Amino acid sequence: MLEVFVCRGYHMSAIQSVKCPHCHKEALLAGNPYRPFCSERCKMIDLGTWASEGYRIPGAKAPQEEEEPEE
């Protein structure tokens, strides 16, 4: 659903729902504690992917810094 408002010549939209980033079902924004996800399950699956480093930026690995010996 998408409502469009015109204010001083500018088009403004009030988005009421989005597609869940995980399962792609429609998810309401208003009153949804899990937004932009549709459910707690989809939110936790996404969190688990972040925690297990499933989302990565492509590129070469950064060099590891060596620890200095303590004196």
Is 68 contained in some domain? no
Residue-level pLDDT at 1 = 45
Q: Which backbone phi and psi does 46 adopt, to 5 degrees? A: -65, -45
Tokens linked to 44: 């936790």
pTM, rounded to two decimals: 0.59
Tens of pLDDT along the chain (71 residues) come to 445 445 555 555 678 889 999 999 999 888 999 999 999 999 999 999 999 988 888 888 878 887 776 76
Q: Is 51 helix (H, G, I), strand (E, B) or coil?
A: helix
Cα 15 → chain centroid: 16
Backbone torsion region of residue 24, taken as left when φ is above 0, otherwise alpha when ψ lies between -120 and 50, otherwise beta: left
CATH at 36:
3.30.50.10
Number of domains within the chain: 1
Is 30 contained in some domain? yes
Helix (H) or strand (E) holding 46: helix 40-51
Is 6 contained in some domain? yes
Write out the residue range of the structural domain in which residue 46 sits.
2-51
Is 65 contained in some domain? no
